[in-house]
């Protein structure tokens, strides 16, 4: 992606999650900007990873061509239970798929807006939870490939959600849940052949976000509709910036948008930058 496009914020698990945004060769420590005025100005262009301009907005940040050809955008990316590299069966690019799928994966339980089950590459672990705005998380299983994690996830979908309700996630801190107990209960529903992968480690990761004030009635901003977004930054959770006037902005869903970023020390609406 080019240097002037929006990319998801980097996260670091500390006492409170630390966020940084890289754009136009600058790195902004976003936590320091809470309580200040920020402005994001869209230049009217969206660039795909391949460098092509996206003429029409296409799914998951890919241009039309990439979406229909790249292994990164194949069906099994969205549905891990369709992965076949462990059987040597190609979907779009077997070499790539082997590298991506035949790596250790986790199945986890997270509490972000209620309990959900999810999967992630072992190396992504905590980053994934922070991106989703989870407040608590526990590992359920570690499996040798992506397909098995997808199979376990599917077996648990009847009991817990597999998507995050982002509106609920942004409305406050969820009620604390006994994830260890829940893991025990759900583990019984894991298919026999996968039970060997259930982890004995019951560490619960607690995650706190830098939010001064949560919105009460959420207005979700999109750059296509509001090319200039400005206001006081109230906080950050998941990949969302929480702004004044109950507005939220999802950085992740705007990856590839060519934009400028500004901030101003004086938290006052309508201020000139």
Provide the binding-site residues for Zn ion, judged by CB under 5 A.
48, 50, 52, 63, 66
Beta carbon of residue 52, minimum distance to Zn ion (angstroms, whole number):
5
Beta carbon of residue 67, minimum distance to Zn ion (angstroms, whole number):
8
Decide whether 32 or 93 has the Cβ nearer to Zn ion: 93
Beta carbon of residue 58, minimum distance to Zn ion (angstroms, whole number):
9
Beta carbon of residue 126, minimum distance to Zn ion (angstroms, whole number):
29
Decide whether 147 or 254 has the Cβ nearer to Zn ion: 254
Beta carbon of residue 143, minimum distance to Zn ion (angstroms, whole number):
31
Decide whether 73 or 119 has the Cβ nearer to Zn ion: 73
Beta carbon of residue 66, minimum distance to Zn ion (angstroms, whole number):
3
Decide whether 49 or 187 has the Cβ nearer to Zn ion: 49
Decide whether 40 or 48 has the Cβ nearer to Zn ion: 48
| Residue 175 CB contacts under 8 Å (≥ 6 apart), including other chains | none
Distance, CA of 273 to CA of 268 (rounded, Å): 11
Residues pairing with 117 in the sheet: 109
Decide whether 63 or 139 has the Cβ nearer to Zn ion: 63
């Amino acid at each position: 992606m080019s240097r002037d496009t929006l990319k998801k914020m980097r996260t670091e698990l500390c006492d409170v999650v630390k966020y940084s945004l890289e754009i136009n060769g600058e790195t902004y420590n976003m936590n320091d900007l809470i309580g200040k005025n920020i402005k994001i100005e869209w230049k009217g262009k969206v660039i795909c990873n391949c460098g092509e301009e996206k003429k029409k907005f296409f799914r998951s940040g890919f241009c039309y061509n990439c979406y229909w050809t790249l292994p990164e955008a194949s069906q099994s990316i969205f549905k891990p239970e369709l992965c076949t590299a462990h059987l040597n069966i190609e979907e779009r690019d077997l070499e790539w798929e082997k590298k991506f799928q035949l790596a250790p994966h986790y199945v986890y339980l997270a509490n972000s807006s209620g309990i959900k089950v999810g999967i992630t590459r072992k190396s992504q672990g905590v980053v994934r939870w922070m991106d989703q705005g989870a407040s608590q998380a526990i590992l359920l299983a570690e499996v040798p490939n992506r397909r098995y994690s997808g199979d376990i996830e599917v077996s648990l979908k009847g009991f817990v959600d597999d998507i995050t309700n982002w509106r609920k996630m942004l409305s406050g801190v969820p009620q604390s849940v006994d994830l260890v107990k829940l893991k025990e209960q759900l583990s019984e529903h894991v298919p026999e052949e996968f039970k060997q992968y259930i982890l004995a480690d019951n560490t619960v990761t607690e995650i706190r976000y830098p939010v001064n004030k949560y919105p009460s009635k959420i207005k979700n901003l999109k750059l296509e509709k509001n090319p200039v977004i400005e206001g006081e930054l109230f906080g950050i959770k998941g990949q969302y910036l929480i702004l004044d006037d109950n507005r939220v902005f999802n950085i992740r869903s705007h990856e590839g948008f060519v934009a400028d970023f500004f901030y101003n020390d004086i938290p006052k609406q309508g201020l000139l930058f």
